[in-house]
Amino acid sequence: MTTPFTVVPNEVWADRRLTLEQLRVLGALLSFCTPGNLTCWPRRQQLAERSGVHIANVSSATTCLEALGWITKDGKGGHSKATRYTIHVPQTVAYPATVAESATVAQQATVADQATRMPLADSATVAPSATVAESATSTVAESATRKEETSEQTNTPLAPKQRRRRNAQTLRSFLEDCRQQNIKPIDGDDPIFDYAEKVGISEEMLVAAWAEFKAQFLGRDSTQKDWRAHYRNAVKRNWFNLWYLKEGENARWTTAGEQARRAAA
């Protein structure tokens, strides 16, 4: 029986920025790729099983890999679809020689040796010390002048800061503004999607939570300066008790959540 193996670029081992957890996840991603095609679609659960990394840490590892230039992610994943990963070799890792050339330690050591070996008679010349005194006097004078200038600037009244203040409004007013500006109240780049992917909350659950959120606040006169942030808090704290979590598993519907899901469908 043939044992499966994964081809890993040599640059992976040379990149000292990678942690052990990131190395495992990157290796797992490579294991899902085929020769000549460095794109794959594994789910977080599959990456967790193959890498030995806890599922809650897979998303943070892939986020770091993307920031380091090793992968790009397309899509936010979720309940019904997986994120597409494309693997690259960062230029900073592919050409490490440029880093080595910047540090010539041998030359610095040579200069230090020459200074240490200076004859004692030359190093004990006291006469030129007057130059040091003049320099010190000049430095003190310049420092005093700068302090006076700084003091004058400090005493000058500053113009008040102009801040853009967001007025509080009702949810109904916020949704109407979004409609007039032709923008979505919660767009696809909102941070709540990354949070949901990390903890295992599906997009279907986010939709149900948004429906419950609107049902609760549309009929009220309560106001907020940032309704998007208010919705994020509702999801993160599970205000409506729509799901529950178990160790190592994605979120599952509660009875209330199943009702909300059917109502939002």
Q: Which of 70, 94, 118 is the last residue of a domain?
A: 94
Band of pLDDT at residue 171, cut at 50, 70 and 90: very high
What is the 3-state composition of the chain as percent helix, strand, coil, each rounded to the nearest 5?
A: 55, 10, 40
Number of domains in the chain: 2
pLDDT exceeds cutoff 60 at 40? yes
- For residue 191, the one-letter residue type is P
Span 153-182, mean pLDDT? 75
| Dist. CA 91–CA 70, nearest whole Å | 10
Residue 62: inside a domain: yes
Burial (0-12, 13-18, 19+ Cβ within 10 Å), 248:
exposed
Its domain, for residue 79, covers 10-94
Q: Give the count of alpha carbons within 13 A of 211, CB side only.
A: 17
- For residue 76, the one-letter residue type is K
What would the two tokens of residue 242 be?
């729509």
Rounded to the nearest 5°, which phi and psi values hold at 72? -125, 145
DSSP secondary structure letter of residue 253:
E
Contact 258, 244 (CB under 8 A): no
Band of pLDDT at residue 174, cut at 50, 70 and 90: very high
β-partners of residue 87 are 71
Contact 184, 240 (CB under 8 A): no
Span 153-157, mean pLDDT? 52
Clarify whether residues 90 and 177 are in a common domain: no
Residues of the chain with pLDDT > 70, as a percent, come to 69
Residue 180's contacts (CB-CB under 8 Å, 6 or more residues apart) are none
Contact 31, 52 (CB under 8 A): no
pLDDT exceeds cutoff 50 at 126? no
The CATH code of the domain that includes 40 is 1.10.10.10
> pLDDT, tens digit, for every residue of 12-33?
999 989 999 999 999 999 999 9
- For residue 205, the one-letter residue type is M
> pLDDT, tens digit, for every residue of 184-202?
999 888 999 999 999 999 9
pLDDT exceeds cutoff 50 at 63? yes
Lowest-pLDDT choice from 5-19, 69-83, 204-218: 69-83
pLDDT exceeds cutoff 50 at 127? no
pLDDT confidence of residue 177: 94
| Dist. CA 146–CA 252, nearest whole Å | 65
- For residue 198, the one-letter residue type is K
Span 240-256, mean pLDDT? 92
pLDDT confidence of residue 232: 96
pLDDT confidence of residue 203: 87
Q: What's the gap between Cα 16 and its chain centre?
A: 19
pLDDT exceeds cutoff 50 at 120? no
pLDDT confidence of residue 18: 92
Residue 186: inside a domain: yes
User: Mean pLDDT, the chain, as a whole number?
Assistant: 77
pLDDT confidence of residue 74: 86
pTM over 0.85: no
Residue 138: inside a domain: no
Q: Which of 76, 94, 112 is the last residue of a domain?
A: 94
The Cα-based distances of 1 to 4, 5, 31, 35 in angstroms read 9, 13, 18, 21
pLDDT confidence of residue 247: 87
Residue 106: inside a domain: no
pLDDT confidence of residue 264: 83
Clarify whether residues 173 and 259 are in a common domain: yes
pLDDT exceeds cutoff 50 at 145? yes
- For residue 8, the one-letter residue type is V
Band of pLDDT at residue 59, cut at 50, 70 and 90: confident
Q: Which of 94, 109, 141 is the last residue of a domain?
A: 94
